[in-house]
Amino acid sequence: MAVGVLALQGSFNEHIAVLRRLGVKGVEIRKAEQLDSVSSLIIPGGESTTMAKLAQYHNLFPALREFVKTGKPVWGTCAGLIFLANNAVGQKTGGQELIGGLDCTVQRNFFGSQVMFTFKVLYSSSTVEIQEEDAVPEKKVIVAVKQGNLLGTAFHPELTADTRWHSYFLKMASEMGDGAASSSIAPVGGESQISDQEERIYLPIFH
């Protein structure tokens, strides 16, 4: 089974390219029935309001919510994290529909224009946190969260050359599907490059 990437809007091509580099097939998901052919799902970054409108137009929300409830791994990056959150603040007038599942509240456009800031990301065993270089050390902002089968990041690993977050998600998917042939990750060709690698994938720490 391949990894699905919601392909309504945003950086889905970039996610698929990273998966390809890791030897895993990524499938563009635009219709509800396509979710039956994948063992895990990535919801990419983009413009969350636009993505929500397109998902409504294609009647994808019921199928996406059901996919989350099955326990299959789902990773949301940026707008994808907003989609997976139970609550979102800072929405445009009228709000937007969410998939939900992550017991957290996400604030849209929290960081404003990304080019205006220089950030330092701190990594611990349980959270990834971000703070401004000149900020008070105690003031930390969580930018990555994992709850059960759900992973969310407020940034875009797919837009960098660093594949560790994708490797982490694939390892998470492999472990959750361990022992179930229908949930295994299928490489594009040859043997999987992520099946029995390191016990631990060390996620990036930026200074």
Q: Is residue 200 part of a domain?
A: no
Q: Judge contact between 98 and 106, C-beta under 8 A.
A: no
Q: Is residue 205 part of a domain?
A: no
More confident residue, 188 or 43: 43
What's the domain range around 177? 2-183
Q: Using a pLDDT cut of 70, give the percent of the chain over it.
A: 66
Q: Is residue 54 part of a domain?
A: yes
Q: Which of 1-15, 80-94, 155-169 has the lowest mean pLDDT?
A: 80-94
Selecting among 14, 15, 156, 166, the annotated active-site residue is 156
Q: Is residue 155 part of a domain?
A: yes
Q: Is residue 161 part of a domain?
A: yes
Selecting among 58, 158, 191, 198, the annotated active-site residue is 158
Instruction: Cite the DSSP H helix spans in the chain.
Output: 12-21, 48-57, 61-69, 79-84, 164-176
User: Residue 116: is its pLDDT beyond 70?
Assistant: no
Q: Is residue 39 part of a domain?
A: yes
How many Å apart are CA 23 and CA 112, to the nearest integer?
Answer: 35
Q: Please name which of 16, 6, 12 lies closest in space to residue 68, comparing C-alpha atoms.
A: 6
CATH number of the domain within which 38 lies? 3.40.50.880
Q: How many domains does the chain have?
A: 1
pLDDT of amino acid 108: 65
3-class SS string, 84-119 = HEEEEECCCCCCCCCCCCEEEEEECCCCCCHHHCCE
pLDDT band at 4 (very low <50, low <70, confident <90, very high): very high
How many Å apart are CA 126 and CA 44, to the nearest integer?
Answer: 22
Is 104 tagged catalytic? no
Is 158 tagged catalytic? yes
Average pLDDT over residues 116-141: 46
Selecting among 14, 58, 66, 78, the annotated active-site residue is 78
Q: Is residue 201 part of a domain?
A: no
pLDDT of amino acid 32: 94
More confident residue, 65 or 154: 65
pLDDT band at 102 (very low <50, low <70, confident <90, very high): confident
Average pLDDT over the chain, rounded to whole? 75
More confident residue, 104 or 40: 40
Digit-coded pLDDT (tens) for 22-45 = 999 999 999 999 999 999 999 998
Q: Is residue 189 part of a domain?
A: no
